[in-house]
Structure 1
Amino acid sequence: MKIETETYSPYSTFSKEEWARLRFNTPMTLTKSEIEELQGVNEQVSIDEVSNIYIPLTRLINLYTTASQQLHSVTDTFFGKSTRKVPYILGMTGSVAVGKSTSARIIKALLSRWPNHPKVEIVTTDGFLYPNAELERRGIMHRKGFPESYNIKELIKFLALLKSGTPRIKAPVYSHLYYDIIPEDYQIIDQPDIVIVEGVNVLQTPSSDDQTLPSVFVSDFFDLSIYVDADENDLIKWYIDRFKKLRLTAFNNPNSYFKRYAYLSDAEAEETAAGIWNSINKVNLKENIEPTKNRGDIILVKDASHNVTSIKLRKI
């Protein structure tokens, strides 16, 4: 473990070898085939990666969750009453193409195997994007994924209900196939033990001159937050690789919003993906996502092979 001495850092940094030792004797509860089902379009997550990175991570989250449950019970005892079950909320963020969705799925699968919190849900903030028709009306369709494209008030309302223990809360559903919100389709969140809230915007704060947004932030509802980090050169390569694979799969669906890209050559696909990255995703990364990195409680740092090479844990 590396602790900064000359220049203060709020994080303790662990190499993957140091982090792996923190697994202790926590058992592996996922099979190779289950891991393969959880990984993304262009990611190859090995059993070693799950064993050395994600099992110690979920062991830590389990300890945090257990402590939170105990604190809730103590508070009930103090007030002499029983309150609603309140979920432990984990925020997960990082750039487009960094693999945060895969990380969220693996964390969910592992946490679901612990006996004290078997009910784990993932909610993506994509569901709180404004519908395409509203983005078009506002003239910000080209800014989809940027802070102004999200209905933050509705997201905060959802999180407030979640953190108050309200049963059967509706979360809107987003379709990557249609590239839009699905009307009258909802994910029902019914008093889970843990909720992973995943999206590029979960650690962002509104600009000080925006008086239309609430005075609370999305991250105010989190018990723990994770930022998945990688070098920008790797991010653009992963984005282009994923685009080229989707061109041969999902984009071939006649209902896909991106079906116009299905017939591009390799060279055309690379040029198109690079153009989208540089004009949209890179700008969003630099202006809105990357500046939130040091607000995360845990930072997972990836190398060019999508493997986590070091872990930064905020000092308590």
Structure 2
Amino acid sequence: MEGLVGRARELAGGGRRGHGAGGQRRVLGIAGPPGAGKSTLAERLADRLDGLAVLVPMDGFHLAQAELERLGRADRKGAPDTFDAAGYAALLARLRAPEPGVTVYAPAFDRALEEPVAGSIPVPPDVPLVITEGNYLLHDEGPWAAVRPLLDEVWYLDLDDRHRVPRLVARHVHFGKAPAHAERWVTDSDEANARVVARGRDRADLVVRMS
């Protein structure tokens, strides 16, 4: 953890220097399959950086449940085409180039509601680093291909499936799914998405072995 904090702090330092010279803010991406620990690591990094970073998760760009149902994609929630990938890329581009005096508001995802919530995360212009985490930061198909060039570094979290899958089932149960439903959802949906995510592993700057 100390090495990762140090690496993120170096990125923040570069962003502070760039911002002071009229340049760009730095953006660190944390990618990996469902249940690998992305949100936990991203939150810990942001906490340890003492105000130098703001966390903006990709999950804020989930399409609303009503829209997923209209499109016939509700049973695949979490797949690449169930997000507003172009909107996410547009936000990243805006975050990379902060305007003096302008706070950018990013959406969050409320797991209790299973819905995105707009305007939830303020990103002040003087914060030198944005940390963003999500499944598809390294995905190179369709509008997702625009995301990777907007990230200064991407770390890929690698966790053995023997630990990752039970953790993922437990998370679904914690947020309201019955155990049998949670297991089916992980098998039929999350693991299909995990295979898509894994194809981007070689495009990461750093692979972090999780335990």
Q: Which amino acid aligns with 1:228?
A: L
Aligned to 2:106: 171
Counterpart contact for 2:56–2:108, Cα < 8 Å: no
Aligned to 2:155: 226
Secondary structure of the corresponding residue to residue 138 of structure 2: coil
The answer as to 2:83 corresponding to 1:83 is no
The answer as to 2:130 corresponding to 1:195 is yes
Secondary structure of the corresponding residue to residue 3 of structure 2: helix
Larger radius of gyration: 1
Which string of whole-angstrom CA distances, capped at 9 and with x for unpartnered residues, describes residues 251-304 of structure 1?
Answer: 3xxxxxx5xx3xxxxxxx2x3322111100111111x211111111111112xx
Query: How far apart in 1 are the matches of 2:16 and 2:108?
Result: 29
Aligned to 2:34: 96
Counterpart contact for 2:105–2:119, Cα < 8 Å: no
Query: How far apart in 1 are the matches of 2:106 and 2:171?
Result: 27
Higher RCO by CA contacts (8 Å cutoff, separation 6 or greater): 2
The answer as to 2:9 corresponding to 1:57 is no
2:87 equivalent among 154, 157, 165: 154
Query: How far apart in 1 are the matches of 2:59 and 2:208?
Result: 22
- Paired residues in the alignment total 208
1:206 equivalent among 131, 141, 151: 141
Q: Which residues in structure 2 correspond to 1:287-302 (within 5 Å)?
A: 288-302=196-210
Q: Which amino acid aligns with 2:38?
A: K
Secondary structure of the corresponding residue to residue 97 of structure 1: coil
Query: How far apart in 2 are the matches of 1:226 and 1:149?
Result: 23
Counterpart contact for 1:93–1:199, Cα < 8 Å: yes
Counterpart contact for 1:229–1:300, Cα < 8 Å: yes
Query: Normalised by the size of structure 2, how large is the TM-score?
Result: 0.88
Gaps of 5+ in 1: 1-53, 77-81, 113-117, 208-212, 252-257, 262-268, 308-316
Q: Percent identity?
A: 21
Compute the displacement of 1:67 (Å).
4.2
Structure 1 vs Structure 2 CA RMSD: 2.2
Label 1:242 to 1:152 Cα distance change in 2 as closer, same or farther (>3 A). closer
The runs of at least 4 consecutive aligned structure 1 residues that moved more than 3 Å come to: 67-70, 241-244
Query: How far apart in 1 are the matches of 2:61 and 2:111?
Result: 13
Query: How far apart in 1 are the matches of 2:11 and 2:56?
Result: 20
Aligned to 2:78: 145
Label 1:140 to 1:120 Cα distance change in 2 as closer, same or farther (>3 A). same
Query: Normalised by the size of structure 1, how large is the TM-score?
Result: 0.61
Which string of whole-angstrom CA distances, capped at 9 and with x for unpartnered residues, describes residues 187-230 of structure 1?
Answer: 221222111111111111124xxxxx48x611111111111111
Which string of whole-angstrom CA distances, capped at 9 and with x for unpartnered residues, describes residues 38-77 of structure 1?
Answer: xxxxxxxxxxxxxxxx11221123234434544x37xx8x
Aligned to 1:236: 165
Counterpart contact for 2:27–2:130, Cα < 8 Å: yes
Gaps of 5+ in 2: none
Secondary structure of the corresponding residue to residue 130 of structure 2: strand
